[in-house]
Chain A
Amino acid sequence: MSIWSKTAVVGAWEHPTRFAPHMTPFQIHAESARGALADAGLTIRDVDGFFTSGVGPIGIMSLAQHLNLRPCYLDSQSIGGSSFVSHCLHAAAAIAGGLCTVALVTYGSTAASERFAIGTGGSFATEPPDHFEAPFGPTIVGSYALVAQRHMHEYGTTSEQLAQIAVTMRHHATLNPHAKYRDPITVEDVLASRMISSPLHLLDCCMISDGGGALVLTSAERARDLRRPPVLIRGGAEAVRHGEIGTRDLLDVASFQSGPLAFQRAAVRPADIDMCMVYDSYTITVLTTLEGLGFCARGEGGGFCADGRIALGGALPVNTDGGGLSSNHPGMRGIFLVIEATRQLRGEAGPAQVRDARLACVHGTGGMLGQRHSGVTLILGRT
């Protein structure tokens, strides 16, 4: 029995805040739940499936109390910033399988107002592989930089090509009134920004903001009676990459596995996709993800991203909200990928609208690209 196209995103809401020292993370979760349920035309009493992450190993129970939920299905999948994309995939399976009927996915964080140094703080992991890595000082930026350096070595990818990705995301952010950074930048600005971990400059890195959001999913059948145009879960898959047994090819990122599987399940091809939402933790993340998803061949990501193709008006607009590089990044960006894809497929993206967007590809990356990371791909489509 296939689960594809049997469930839909029916409510989506992005919290407008980018800096909220006056709020708690749970408050952002709650306000986001309110926003997404209102968008769907449902109430919190309709929710019987609850999905969240970033709240600690068993924090989903505390958040369920905060929202006074009594779900019959819980999932706090925690695989980094891609977790919320994974929640949508799991919610689709749970709804199609009859384990719940209305799934609520929430996210909230005050990483910026807590001054949490996400990318350049120390390592806090203590599992067996960490003991062979953490002593040498890998930051999160550094882990992604290892992949960037190797990509440059194998394929001649340049800092200018990476910088063009940041420039494109900033251009998209100029169209988003909620984006944190809206002043246009140039390739020269990126290259002149200080080096954080070579070859990644400050402007190759996503920001740290506060924020949150929520999604509501239900069956495609029930979605027909709700107030918003349903956005179908057409296909999806997840993957993990790690150091293996000291043999890993660092350029073989998780999207090389989850992408083709998701496309196969959705019975569509990369050429059919109208717009793409990719976790842009760093510029290199976008480049390697698009290679893995099959929009270009391995090694061709630099040229693919640098010639205007991923900008609005190009063949494959990517991150039309400005992404984590320019709109918002409270630490785990996955939920915003699905929210913006939903806006696009409903035709609600305003000046950043991709004309007649019918099919979107979403890919979340979580963790540390050069060490252990997850990848979750979703294919979303309007009916």
Chain B
Amino acid sequence: MSKPEGATYQKYLPRIDEESRGYWEALARHELYFQRCRDCGTKRFYPRAVCPVCLSSSTEWVRASGRGTVYTFTVTHQNQAPGYRDALPYVLAVVELAEGVRLMTNVVECAPDTVRVGMPVEIVFQDVTPEMTLPMFRPV
């Protein structure tokens, strides 16, 4: 788990809005949730108020195990944006959670060149500011 970087954090900070607040608040408690429609049962990520399958507004939050596998990844060697250029090389990845939904993330706590598609990973809750925790993953 990383230390909060506070005011020095230069990377993109998500905007918490009314559709996503529950997701980000859970991450701050070091819990990962996705949504499931109470009417049609479809799981969805990222969080949104209306189920795009059946247009229901009736939604429940489902806690994820935090385990998954790398669906795809890239080792980023060039990014001029503040914050990211100081973190090169870093692994941008799409992880498929054990529950079946995919999310974009970083694979951390390993040498970038050891990451492979299909690699089992588990969640690392990165407290990037006192208010914001991001879901990242490390090899199991």
Question: Are A139 and B104 CB-contacts (below 8 A) given A122-B12, A126-B15?
Answer: no
Instruction: Tell whether A57 is near chain B: CB-to-CB under 8 Å.
Output: no
Interchain CB contact under 8 A, A146 and B101: no
**CB of B3 to closest CB in A, whole Å:** 17
Chain B residue contacts of A120, Cβ below 8 A: 78-80
Interchain CB contact under 8 A, A246 and B102: yes
Chain B CB count within 10 A is highest, among A128, A133, A246, A371, for A246
| In the complex, per-residue mask of B81-122: 1 if CB is within 8 Å of any chain A CB, else 0 | 110100100101110000011111110000000000110000
Interchain CB contact under 8 A, B20 and A128: yes
Chain A residue contacts of B78, Cβ below 8 A: 120, 139, 141, 196-197
Interchain CB contact under 8 A, B53 and A245: yes
Chain B residue contacts of A150, Cβ below 8 A: 71-72, 117
Interchain CB contact under 8 A, B103 and A135: no
How far is it, in angstroms, between the C-alpha of A151 and the C-alpha of B121 when the chains are bound?
Answer: 21
**CB of B27 to closest CB in A, whole Å:** 11
Question: Are A137 and B81 CB-contacts (below 8 A) given A128-B46, A150-B72, A247-B101?
Answer: yes
Chain A residue contacts of B134, Cβ below 8 A: 135-136
Interchain CB contact under 8 A, A248 and B76: no
> For residue A126, which residue of chain B has the nearest CB?
B15
How far is it, in angstroms, between the C-alpha of A95 and the C-alpha of B42 when the chains are bound?
Answer: 43
How far is it, in angstroms, between the C-alpha of A311 and the C-alpha of B53 when the chains are bound?
Answer: 44
Interchain CB contact under 8 A, A122 and B72: no
Question: Are A139 and B79 CB-contacts (below 8 A) given A133-B104, A198-B74, A247-B102?
Answer: yes
Interchain CB contact under 8 A, B104 and A245: no
Interchain CB contact under 8 A, A137 and B74: no
**CB of A133 to closest CB in B, whole Å:** 5
Chain A residue contacts of B38, Cβ below 8 A: none
How many positions in chain B have a CB within 8 Å of any CB in the partner chain? Answer: 47
Identify B48's interface contact among A128, A137, A138, A196, CB under 8 A. Answer: A128
Chain B CB count within 10 A is highest, among A135, A139, A147, A148, for A135
| In the complex, per-residue mask of A41-62: 1 if CB is within 8 Å of any chain B CB, else 0 | 0000000000000000000000
Instruction: Tell whether A123 is near chain B: CB-to-CB under 8 Å.
Output: yes
Question: Are A246 and B81 CB-contacts (below 8 A) given A122-B12, A123-B12, A128-B19?
Answer: no
Question: Are A194 and B81 CB-contacts (below 8 A) given A128-B19, A131-B14, A146-B72?
Answer: no
> What 9 pairs across the A-B complex have the smallest Cβ distances?
A122-B81, A246-B45, A246-B101, A145-B74, A131-B14, A245-B44, A150-B72, A153-B117, A132-B46
Q: Which residues of B contact A (CB under 8 A)?
A: 11-15, 17, 19-20, 34, 42-46, 48, 52-53, 71-82, 84, 87, 90, 92-94, 100-106, 117-118, 128, 134, 136
Q: Which residues of A contact B (CB under 8 A)?
A: 117, 120-123, 126, 128-129, 131-139, 141-142, 145-150, 153, 194-200, 243, 245-248, 250, 370-371
27 A-B pairs whose Cβ atoms sit less than 8 Å apart in the complex: A121-B81, A122-B80, A122-B82, A128-B48, A132-B14, A132-B103, A135-B14, A135-B128, A135-B134, A137-B11, A137-B12, A137-B84, A142-B79, A142-B92, A146-B74, A146-B93, A148-B74, A149-B73, A194-B77, A196-B77, A197-B74, A197-B75, A197-B77, A197-B78, A243-B102, A245-B52, A248-B102
